[in-house]
Amino acid sequence: MPTVLVTGGAGFIGSNFVRLLHQERPHWQVVNLDLLTYAGNAENLADLAGDPRYIFVHGDVADWDAVTSLFARHAIDRVVHFAAETHVDRSILDPGVFVRTNVVGTYTLIEAAREAWHRDGGYGETRFLHVSTDEVYGSLAAGDPPTTEHSPYAPSSPYAASKAAADWLVRSYVRTYGFPALITNCSNNYGPYQFPEKLIPLVLCQALEGKPIPIYGRGDNVRDWLFVTDHCRAALTVLEEGTAGETYNIGAGEERTNLDLVHRLLGILGELRPELGDLTRLITFVPDRPGHDFRYALNTEKITRTLGWRPRVSLAQGLRRTIAWYLEHQDWLNRVRTGEYRRFLEQQYHGRTK
């Protein structure tokens, strides 16, 4: 039975990836390592508790003893590294946390894997997938072509810089040690279980409560929006079929300004909940954040040409599915927003959660 270690598997993308494995790779065993910080929620996968194919470990990816003990206890032959601090605003306020998790955590994980896997001059059939972001490439102007896997790095925020550092560390292990790592850089994800500090769930929360919807600057910053299950399928494809040492961009080709995206969201929500009235009245423009990149866009020709992956969910479909999920799971949303889910964690893990 293949055993995959998923870091950050209780978070937004990680929990969706674990669910994908559970459904489509039923012969795999999944070890989920997550520290359960504010954005990690064990409730996301509570229905898998007790399944012999799923093992949850409450721990820190930057804790050497915790990570090495996993490789000692379990026959891990694959790693998918999602664990990261990801919110740009938080990185501006406290960059040290991002350096520890994103850089030190990546070093700890990859070094522990190298020690565990290296035998007789090789690494056998092991695979290590490092999941990164389009933000490492920096900002594009309106007419610039999308970035390719060979575009130079130009991170703007402490978050992006910490992910760029982690990417280069992984590449150095490939070059120096022949380590079987792969890297993916993805565009903005959205979908079920996303923590409501991010744009789409934040807009939905504010709209449902009739509160102001904050938009930075004039709302003309451009992002490419990728439905989370499309990202998870791409990550699994790269893990299984990608060439070790290679980098693959993952995007949807769905570029929209933030203001346009918000209008689309509010339009769909207004159709589903007409009693909320004219939701555009809630849009509020706020001062732009420092170093706010204007546009990100990824050229995904490589992953399509070499691995046959392409997104299945359009932005129109994905937004409707996302809004429907949040409307059906407002209890989950309320527990996350109020912090009540922390009590669930404490009950499950006997006060070990900070």
3-state class of 278 per DSSP?
coil
Among 112, 139, 141, smallest CA distance to 33 is for: 112
More confident residue, 39 or 353: 39
Q: How confident is the model at residue 82 (pLDDT cuts 50, 70, 90)?
A: very high
Q: What is the mean pLDDT of residues 193-208?
A: 93
DSSP state letters, 266-330: HHHHHHH-GGG--GGGGEEEEPPPTT---B--B--HHHHHHH-----S-HHHHHHHHHHHHHHTH
Q: What is the pLDDT of residue 254?
A: 98
3-state class of 10 per DSSP?
coil
**How far is residue 146's CA from residue 149's CA, in Å, rounded to a whole number?**
10
> Hey, which residues are catalytic here?
134-135, 159
For 215-247, the pLDDT digits (tens) are: 999 999 999 999 999 999 999 999 999 999 999
List, in order of start, the domains of the chain with CATH numbers. Answer: 3-188+227-253+293-313+339-349 (3.40.50.720)
Q: What is the pLDDT of residue 297?
A: 98
Least confident segment among 48-52, 93-97, 341-345: 341-345
Q: Residue 260 above 90 pLDDT?
A: yes
Q: What is the pLDDT of residue 340?
A: 53
**How far is residue 239's CA from residue 318's CA, in Å, rounded to a whole number?**
24
Least confident segment among 179-188, 229-238, 341-350: 341-350
Q: Residue 307 above 50 pLDDT?
A: yes
Q: Residue 346 above 70 pLDDT?
A: no
